[in-house]
Amino acid sequence: MQNKIPVAVLGATGMVGQRFVSLLSDHPWFEIRIVAASSRSAGRPYADSVHGRWTLREPVPPAVGRLNVLEVEKDMAKIASEARMVFSALAMEKARIAEIENAYAGLDAAVISNNSAHRWTQDVPMLMPEINPHHLDLIGIQRKNRGWKKGLIVVKPNCSIQSYVPVLEAFKPFGPEKVMVCTCQAVSGAGKTLESWPEMVDNVIPFIGGEEKKSEDEPLRIWGTIRNGVIEPAKKPVISATCIRVPVTDGHLASVHVTFGKKPSREDLTDAIRQFENPLAGLKLPSSPGAFIKYFDEEDRPQTRLDRDFERGMGITVGRLREDSILGWKFIALSHNTLRGAAGGSVLTAELVTAKGYAS
């Protein structure tokens, strides 16, 4: 792409915002022109604002570090006039985030959001790019509904579902009917590190507010059908989720039990994973993983520390497929929560939105 698309990151100082900054700083299609956050961080160079709370191993990209941090709400008109695309990584009251994202889209920005505020808004696509890229057809309906000419909103689903939904998608020919999932979720999913959340060291907390409902309901919207201008969620598989916080820095691991309508063999299922084709492969999107899902034969894989960075944190790893005496089959799946599950998934979504011509 000769002329890079100018972009802004809202909530750029937070855990996910920092990932956006890192992923976008050397992106072949996008160029960060603006970083924005609350009044607490605004009015200083980005490098100063994140000093002492930069969580990534790589340093703050120098060109972004020099940008003056703007205020998401006060500087909205300036931000929307200078950035064609806006990545939202805000953590504030949901209703306010929905209003802010609507306002940016109304000012002609293509809004790609990590937040849950618009995940159930009827004309907003919630995208896992490899699973439901056709839901981008809602953008035309959205623009018509709202009178937007260039603006749009697309959201990313919750980080907890990113590992098991792709595997269940690969298993679709065998008719998954009932799913029981237990997720073991990293502290970065709460915007924290083990240093900033010392209570998590040597500890497991069997509760993550709101997470179980998202883990049960959001996959059904992903597998839903566009009917009469809205997404009609799928009815199957029925999902029951338990979500647990564990003392891991990054990587959400899920233990999944499934009942199928058909009776697949072990070979049927491992073949389905190994032969699952990435439907976006032909588009050559810069953040697309070479291999989307990898199956391990080793009994002790996937592991968070060893496998979360598979395909730059954009691939899914699976293992331990075995028969289950109650539900049929069970397996373990892993995804990187702040890459595939947050900023990386949003950047991939933005690339797809761009490749389909919605951000030109």
Ligand X SMILES: NC(=O)c1ccc[n+]([C@@H]2O[C@H](COP(=O)([O-])OP(=O)(O)OC[C@H]3O[C@@H](n4cnc5c(N)ncnc54)[C@H](OP(=O)(O)O)[C@@H]3O)[C@@H](O)[C@H]2O)c1
The pattern of x and - marking residues 313 through 342 that bind ligand X according to CB under 6 A reads ------------------------xx--xx
- Based on the shown chain and the rule CB under 6 A, indicate whether residue 41 belongs to the binding site for ligand X: yes
- Based on the shown chain and the rule CB under 6 A, indicate whether residue 91 belongs to the binding site for ligand X: yes
Closest distance of CB 8 from ligand X, Å: 12
252 has catalytic annotation: yes
For residue 338, give both structure tokens.
């702040």
Residue 298: phi and psi, rounded to 5, are: -60, 140
Pick 16 or 273: Cβ nearer ligand X? 16
Pick 89 or 246: Cβ nearer ligand X? 89
- Based on the shown chain and the rule CB under 6 A, indicate whether residue 38 belongs to the binding site for ligand X: yes
Nearest Cα neighbor of 185 from 129, 120, 131, 255 is 255
Nearest Cα neighbor of 292 from 169, 151, 148 is 169
The pattern of x and - marking residues 97 through 116 that bind ligand X according to CB under 6 A reads -----------------xx-
Identify the three-state secondary structure at position 290. Answer: coil
- Which among 159, 184, 243, 336 is annotated as catalytic? 159
- Based on the shown chain and the rule CB under 6 A, indicate whether residue 128 belongs to the binding site for ligand X: no
Whole-angstrom distance, CA of residue 355 vs CA of residue 233: 26
Helices and strands per DSSP (H, E), number in the chain: 11, 14
Residue 105: phi and psi, rounded to 5, are: -65, -35
Task: Name every residue whose Cβ is closer than 8 Å to that of residue 17 and which is 6 or more positions away in sequence.
Answer: 9, 10, 11, 35, 37, 89, 343
- Based on the shown chain and the rule CB under 6 A, indicate whether residue 92 belongs to the binding site for ligand X: yes
159 has catalytic annotation: yes
Using an 8 Å Cβ cutoff, are 94 and 67 in contact?
A: no
Pick 111 or 342: Cβ nearer ligand X? 342
- Which among 27, 118, 252, 336 is annotated as catalytic? 252
Using an 8 Å Cβ cutoff, are 63 and 25 in contact?
A: yes
Closest distance of CB 90 from ligand X, Å: 4
Pick 37 or 353: Cβ nearer ligand X? 37
Number of residues that bind ligand X (CB under 6 A): 26
- Residue for token pair 């490899």: 130
List the interface residues with ligand X, window 247-286 (CB under 6 A).
none
Which letter, b or e, does each residue of 243-254 get, where b requires 16 or more Cβ atoms within 10 Å of its Cβ?
Answer: bebbbbbbbbbb
- Based on the shown chain and the rule CB under 6 A, indicate whether residue 346 belongs to the binding site for ligand X: no
Residues carrying an active site annotation: 159, 252
Interface contacts to ligand X, rule CB under 6 A: 11-17, 37-38, 40-41, 72, 89-92, 114-115, 159, 188-189, 191, 337-338, 341-342
